[in-house]
Copies of this chain bind each other. A is one copy, B any other.
Amino acid sequence: MIKQLLIGIVCSAAVLTLGILIGHFGINKSSNSAPSWVKDVMKGVDESLIEKFLSEVDNIQIQENLMVLTKVPHMATTAGDEQTVQFMLKRWQDPETGLDQAWREEYMVYLSFPDPENPNKVTVVSPSDTVQYTAREKEKSYTSDQDDPEVVQPYAAYSPAGHPKGKLVYANQGKPSDYQLLNNTVDLRGTIAITRYGGAGRADKAINGAPYGVIGVLVYTDPLDINDGRMSDTNETYPHSWYLPPSGVERGSFNTHYGDLLTPYLAAKDETYRIPAKDITGIPPIPIQPIGFEDAYKLICELGGEAAPNLWQGSFNCTYNFGGPGFKQTSTFNNSDVKLDIFNHEKLKNSSNVMGVIRGSVEPDRYVIYGNHRDSWVHGAIDPSSGTSVMLELTRVLGRMVKQGKWRPRRSIIFGSWGAEEFGLIGSAEYTEQYFTKLSERTVAYINVDIAVFANATLRASGMPSLQNVIFKSSKQVDAPGLDSTSVYDNWIQYANRTSPTHGLIPKVGYLSGAGSDYAAFVHYLGITSIDISYTYDRSKTNARIYPAYHTAYDTFDYASKYIDPGFVSHQAIARTAGSVLIRLADSLLLPLNCSDYAETLEDYLNTAVTLYQLQLQNKQISMEPLKRAVANFRSAATHLDQVVRTSDLANETPLKVRRINDQLMLLDRAFLDPLAFPDKYAFRHVIWASSSAGKPTFPGLADAYANAESSEESSAWNKVHYHLSVLSQAIEGAAHTLVDVI
């Protein structure tokens, strides 16, 4: 009986257990069971996946990408450019390592080219019209690359055609102050000015001179500014080092606006309205042509007139004189003119962006955009193909994970291979114009890697302060190239650092206040949180204003692999760092954007503004209190939002609460946009980051308006300062309103 009882109990227990198991696992809790999406929507970054990504980024793959991309010159809209389009499409449509989708988007854009049949000429012409000297039309060949018939003659894109002839003068960097000073001594009417690169925008060297009567401009790169003084190609310059050979010429786009010049604010489609070409502003009103320092040396050292100031002197072993105007009496060029024969012509050409996407799994309507341009001036090994090679390696590793079903990002990732950047950031600008609303509503961040590697010393990053912590985190997990057990971060902090009131000593992240690459339209027109990443110089070792082969026929695979990044390890470090930033932005449950770091910058800007302007503004009865209040409100709103994040268990909250905070973070930069803040600056709408000519580390519109008022002293100019203060305060207050509790 006891046995029976025991058997009964054991059996009952077994049956009960069976029942419990059936009840628990076998029957779906109809109304109370978690829908399948609950877990997915709360997933965040998978650190092991990032580790896997980092380990798979391959320097040899990058090198191979670069080799293909630089086989031939690929200036925008040329046959070489089309080859790169095809290459990108093939890679991004690869069934094993490609993206979900890739396609091209075309725009009809206004470009400017020299005439291969009538090359531009710069000559010295005697009074009897004898040609005494002719500047080089082509750069000297050291490798077969320079012999490619597709190497475009050095020229100034958007310089008008024309044949000005006049006495030569030296105008330093062609800044307004340079021409002003020169004009005190020399009558500039009818002269040709020779200027050196740097100090002023390319087009400005002509725009600033024309009002003084200058009729033509030459521009060259002084060895002082690019070669640490080296001039000889027998042993000093490329192919013996990274320095620029004497005949090397920096090409460039000579315009001050970005985007297609004929279709401001409109995507340049076939039937889009185009302004009359005569209404284009911001391009040279007089012919301008770049030359090598070999030719510049011949001209400058023969100049007559007074000696130019010390700051105007370059590396040539002669005194840089102003010009008589013209050459000195002892010169064989005495009494001769310099003549420019410029045959540039403008054309509407079809330029392509290549686009690719990885669809997001949980929030496909949130975009992280990663981009770089594809077009170069010549072979463009560094500019832009270093960045394109890095992007292709990124997409190869990520694409394979997606194709293998191992990963799909939370948010969508859009890759953009922009066209016609060299002519003024055209492809990216047209893209932002065409998709303005969609992009502005949904884009979390834009990552730009153009020139991936300027040099192999240290990371450089510029971006919105809110992104600072992402690049810090990412750079800490990547090894610095060529260094044992030092992270990119630890190496970086040695080269560029600052002391933050909150974080102590940290690497210094720059600001994106100019329009130097394709981030411009994203930052200034769309107000999208952006970052630009590269590897760069040890400034203790060179004063070169940029890597010396920039925009010349020497920017080749040979140059890049020998002198910029042998072994492509810096490229690899950039690919890893940028990729980690990308994955973090795409996968984090909570966006890794920190609004308190933004507050720190605003406070910094405010302090500078108060120091520089407050006293004088008080005299003008203009109060800075609204701006101070706005910054203080922004800080307290940021602190509050930080606190909400810290005290919330977001992984267990409703996904709509996480989304709400993410929207606050994503849209923060949009609050700083005001389409009326800078009526004179094309497509600059971001009141914190707009470009500024005042050169003060503070709010750009305020600095410019103040500088202008101070020099003009008109009451209407002080009104503009007051107006901009109100615009700025309202924008910052508006941003603060978006960070406080939503209701």
Q: Which residues of A contact B (CB under 8 A)?
A: 8, 11-12, 15-25, 27, 29, 31-35, 37-41, 263, 265-267, 269, 271-273, 276, 357, 359-360, 362-365, 367, 412, 414, 433-438, 441-442, 623, 625-626, 652-656, 659-660, 663-664, 667, 670-671, 674-676, 719, 722-723, 725-727, 730, 733-735, 737-738, 742-743
Contact = CB atoms under 8 A, between A and B. Distances in A.
Given A266-B730, A626-B269, A437 B743 contact: no
Contacts of A31: 39
23 contacts: A8-B8, A15-B19, A16-B19, A18-B19, A19-B22, A20-B20, A23-B24, A29-B34, A32-B34, A40-B654, A265-B674, A267-B730, A359-B743, A362-B656, A364-B742, A365-B664, A434-B730, A435-B737, A436-B734, A437-B671, A438-B671, A656-B659, A659-B659
Contacts of A655: 41, 654-656
Contact of A626 (B41, B272, B438): B272
Nearest to A653: B37
B34 A271 contact: no
One complex includes copies of this chain to the number of 2
B35 A38 contact: yes
Contacts of A722: 273
Contacts of A29: 24, 29, 33-34
A660 B364 contact: yes
A258 to B, nearest CB: 16
A277 B498 CA distance: 47
Given A18-B19, A35-B652, 19 more contacts: A8-B11, A15-B16, A19-B21, A20-B23, A23-B27, A24-B29, A29-B34, A35-B654, A41-B655, A266-B726, A273-B722, A359-B743, A365-B743, A412-B742, A434-B734, A437-B667, A442-B742, A655-B656, A659-B659
A33 B24 CA distance: 11
Contacts of A35: 34, 38, 652, 654
Contacts of A438: 671, 734, 737-738
Contacts of A626: 269, 271-272
A140 to B, nearest CB: 47
A582 to B, nearest CB: 16
Given A271-B623, A734-B435, A34 B38 contact: yes
Contacts of A676: 265, 675
B24 A730 contact: no
A8 B675 CA distance: 83
Contacts of A743: 357, 359-360, 364-365, 367, 412, 414
Nearest to A269: B626
A309 B654 CA distance: 70
Nearest to A442: B742
